[in-house]
């Protein structure tokens, strides 16, 4: 085994995190959709390489670029708190292909109640996977709480979608196009706070610039979760707006999705 290159820290971001561009590059890197195609064996090797590098040893001949790529794969597939491999659907790198497909179906099939019910249920199930997978491991949540959050959010989305769908039957088609977005927004306002209710009840750990723990804060939890809700609604707006629709979704969803990543990762 050879030692890590002098001064190299595998956990240090490649780009300056004090700037917006640096943070953007960082999150684009670790949420690269192409990483969902990487085989499980390669992800496991990347984890072993990262852990070995943290211990001060790497395989002979490893370059710094190889180490950084291993860290990219590790960050894309393993939970930052627990180190456990995340399910594929819940990984942030899956949000662009998965979210685009579901958004497209919701925009296409919104005219009948059965179609609205089915695709809103699919969307909320997808959101539940994402929220559970990226939960704060320091604030565990019971299966009962997860179930209540899922059922409540799904119910809110269905009630909003079906209610507005019936209300807009005689309204201009343009107004009816807002129904999927309204349902998604309503569900996000319920699903995320309930899925992360333990953070609101017990607070989250607050640290100083040197990573020294200062205590727990419920206010910080509320602020962070509120930012997640806003970013999730903002993420949905470009692709689900009547003016944009499916045609503009491909050109706008990536930037909005990055906003969601930044917001969601801020609580991990």
Predicted local distance difference test score (pLDDT) of residue 44: 92
Write down the mean pLDDT value for the chain. 76
On whether both 52 and 103 belong to a single domain, the answer is: no
On whether both 69 and 99 belong to a single domain, the answer is: no
Structure tokens belonging to residue 37: 């195609």
Highest-confidence range of 94-98, 179-183, 209-213, 264-268, by mean pLDDT? 94-98
In a domain, 167, yes or no: yes
In a domain, 3, yes or no: no
Residue 93 pLDDT > 80, yes or no? yes
pLDDT tens-digit series, residues 128-180: 788 778 776 666 667 777 788 778 877 877 777 777 767 766 666 666 667 77
Question: How remote is the C-alpha of 2 from its chain's centroid?
Answer: 36
Nearest by Cα to 76 from 35, 18, 34: 35
In a domain, 131, yes or no: yes
Predicted local distance difference test score (pLDDT) of residue 174: 67
131, 154 Cβ separation under 8 angstroms: no
Residue, of 90 and 8, whose pLDDT is higher: 90
Q: What's the rounded Cα separation, in Å, for the pair 215 and 213?
A: 6
Split at pLDDT 50, 70, 90, the class of 3 is: low
Question: How remote is the C-alpha of 24 from its chain's centroid?
Answer: 15
On whether both 141 and 238 belong to a single domain, the answer is: yes
Question: How remote is the C-alpha of 150 from its chain's centroid?
Answer: 16
Q: What's the rounded Cα separation, in Å, for the pair 134 and 168?
A: 36
The conformation of residue 85, written as its DSSP 8-state character, comes to: B
Residue, of 128 and 46, whose pLDDT is higher: 46
In a domain, 213, yes or no: yes
Q: What's the rounded Cα separation, in Å, for the pair 96 and 250?
A: 10
Where is the domain boundary, 10, 43, 76?
Answer: 76
On whether both 28 and 95 belong to a single domain, the answer is: no
pLDDT tens-digit series, residues 230-262: 887 887 776 665 554 433 333 334 434 444 444
Give SS3 for 22: helix
CA triple 80-85-87, angle to 5 deg: 110
Lowest mean pLDDT among 8-22, 132-146, 215-229: 132-146
In a domain, 249, yes or no: yes
On whether both 217 and 94 belong to a single domain, the answer is: yes
Residue, of 266 and 137, whose pLDDT is higher: 137
On whether both 55 and 168 belong to a single domain, the answer is: no
Q: What's the rounded Cα separation, in Å, for the pair 77 and 90?
A: 9
In a domain, 259, yes or no: yes
Task: Tell me the average pLDDT across 9-35.
Answer: 87
Pure H helices in 33-89: 40-54, 64-77
On whether both 117 and 176 belong to a single domain, the answer is: yes
On whether both 246 and 133 belong to a single domain, the answer is: yes
Residue, of 73 and 244, whose pLDDT is higher: 73
Rounded to the nearest 5°, which phi and psi values hold at 205? -70, 135
The conformation of residue 23, written as its DSSP 8-state character, comes to: H
For 169, the domain range is 88-266
Predicted local distance difference test score (pLDDT) of residue 96: 81
Q: Spell out a b/e string for 97-111, using b for 16 or more CB atoms within 10 Å of the CB, else e.
A: ebbbebbbbbbeebe
- Percentages helix, strand, coil for the chain, rounded to the nearest 5? 70, 5, 25
In a domain, 81, yes or no: no
Residue 30 pLDDT > 50, yes or no? yes
Q: At what angle do helices 20-30 and 64-77 cross, to 10 degrees?
A: 80
On whether both 43 and 144 belong to a single domain, the answer is: no
Structure tokens belonging to residue 98: 């998965």
Give SS3 for 43: helix
In a domain, 205, yes or no: yes
On whether both 106 and 69 belong to a single domain, the answer is: no
On whether both 44 and 136 belong to a single domain, the answer is: no
Contacts with 6 (C-beta within 8 Å, 6 or more apart), sequence order: none
Give me the number of domains the chain comprises: 2
On whether both 151 and 34 belong to a single domain, the answer is: no
pTM of the model: 0.65
Predicted local distance difference test score (pLDDT) of residue 255: 39
Q: To the nearest whole percent, how much of the chain has pLDDT over 90?
A: 8
Residue 42 pLDDT > 90, yes or no? yes
């Amino acid at each position: 085994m050879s030692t890590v290159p002098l001064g190299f820290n595998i956990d240090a971001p490649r780009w300056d995190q004090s700037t917006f561009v640096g943070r953007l590059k960082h999150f684009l890197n670790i949420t690269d959709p192409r990483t969902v195609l990487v085989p499980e064996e390669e992800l496991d090797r990347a984890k072993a390489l990262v852990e070995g590098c943290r211990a001060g040893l790497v395989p002979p001949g490893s370059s710094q670029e190889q180490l950084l790529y291993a860290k990219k794969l590790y960050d894309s597939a393993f939970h930052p708190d627990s180190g456990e491999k995340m399910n594929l659907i819940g990984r942030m790198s899956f949000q662009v292909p998965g979210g685009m497909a579901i958004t497209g179906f919701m925009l296409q099939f919104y005219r009948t109640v059965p179609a609205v019910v089915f695709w809103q249920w699919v969307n909320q199930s997808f959101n539940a996977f994402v929220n559970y997978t990226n939960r704060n491991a320091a604030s565990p949540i019971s299966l009962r709480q997860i179930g209540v959050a899922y059922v409540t959010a799904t119910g809110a989305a269905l009630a909003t979608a079906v209610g507005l769908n019936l209300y807009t039957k005689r309204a201009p088609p343009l107004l009816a196009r807002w129904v999927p977005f309204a349902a998604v927004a309503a569900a996000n306002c319920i699903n995320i706070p309930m899925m992360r209710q333990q953070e609101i009840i017990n607070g989250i750990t607050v640290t100083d610039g040197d990573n020294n723990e200062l205590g727990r804060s419920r206010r910080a939890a509320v602020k962070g979760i509120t930012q997640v809700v806003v970013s999730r609604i903002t993420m949905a707006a470009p692709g689900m707006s009547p003016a944009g629709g499916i045609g503009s979704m491909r050109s706008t969803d990536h930037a909005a999705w990055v906003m969601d990543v930044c917001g969601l990762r801020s609580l991990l």
